[in-house]
Amino acid sequence: MEFLKKIFSPLSATINYIQNHFKAMLFILLLVLLFAPAGKQELTPNNLQQIFLTGPIMDATEIVQKIDKAAENDAIKGVLLTVDSPGGAVAPSVEIAYALKRLKEKKPVIVYAKGTMASGSYYASIWADKIIANPGSMVGSIGVIMQGADLSGIMKKIGIKSQVVKAGLYKQIGTPDRPWKKYEINELNKVIQGTYDMFTHDVAKARKLNIKKRDMFANAHIFTAEQAKDVGLIDEVGVLYNAKNELVTLSGVSHPVWNQEDEFDKLMKKLAASTAVVLQTYFPELILK
């Protein structure tokens, strides 16, 4: 027995040390992570800010907060919105557009189309001082759509029937338990057309385009960067380097210092975007697309 104790005594001492000091070590580690600068970038407050609009637009709360915070921060002399989004819900897209418009009144704003800047994400970008698109990006798709699944066939096969009590002829619009009726589709068409009119008028106003010729730049056309420039949807074709340099010039900073987005935040945004796509398949919503 004494022999076994001698063999395992070093291991036992190590375990006891960890138990006694682990909390203190963990606390010190947290302090280091919280207060130690990650590099030279952290020692100097950034004077230019890059904000990312990525994935489907289903909620604008976080990005609008970032835009408004940048607007109120006197240290920030200019903002670059980097876009790679297929669009999304109407209201959040409009929220971002108007937040960007407020920001533009205080400091220069450049939008850079990294990959896809379509529909709602284009709407969100229209009030920038300048829009620059990657040569390989897709721009446009100015249109509105509402779609939903008809699950009546599946429900019948598995023996599920829906029961509805409603007040109002149009209250069941968008239901997935039966095909939509003609009068319901007509009602939805009015909403979709009204939203499309709002979308195209705002684009024409922001980009100084002729609304009477909206079929040339809207009508859900999808453009390459060069084509988008030809119809007036963007200002220049270039890469991120060009977009950053343009903002440096407009903001007048002599020593540009950019912010860094947290990698964990990027991962969480991608997960949220994937979830939104799945939910959108089953629950109809008015989408800029």
Q: Is residue 40 flagged as an active site residue?
A: no
With a cut of 60, say whether residue 273 has pLDDT above it. no
Residue linked to tokens 């705002």:
202
Q: What number is the average pLDDT over the span 277-285?
A: 49
HSE at residue 25, side-chain half, CA atoms within 13 A, is 6
β-partners of residue 80 are: 50, 110
| Mean of pLDDT over the chain | 85
Contacts of 285 (CB under 8 A, 6+ apart): 89, 146
What is the C-alpha to C-alpha distance for residues 140 and 233, in angstroms, rounded to an integer?
Answer: 8
pLDDT band per the 50, 70, 90 thresholds, residue 5: very low
Evaluate whether 56 touches 280 at the Cβ level (below 8 Å): yes
Give the residue among 253, 268, 192, 217 at the shortest CA–CA distance from 48. 253
The 10s digit of each residue's pLDDT in 30-40 is 555 555 454 44
pLDDT digit string (tens) for 111-140? 999 999 999 999 999 999 999 999 999 999
Report which of 197, 225, 49, 219 is spatially closest to residue 136, judged by C-alpha positions: 225
User: Structural domains in the chain?
Assistant: 40-288 (3.90.226.10)
Q: Are 68 and 277 in contact (CB under 8 A)?
A: no
**66-82: pLDDT as tens digits:** 999 999 999 999 999 99
Residue 250 above 60 pLDDT?
yes
| Lowest-confidence segment of 191-205, 244-258, 262-276 by average pLDDT | 262-276
| pLDDT over 60 at 272, yes or no | no
Count of CA atoms in the C-beta half-sphere (13 A) of 199: 34
171 noted as active-site residue? yes
Look-up of token digits 């109120």: 72
The single residue of 85, 93, 119, 121 carrying the catalytic annotation is 119
Q: Which of 69, 156, 171, 270 is catalytic?
A: 171
Q: Is the pLDDT of residue 23 over 70?
A: no
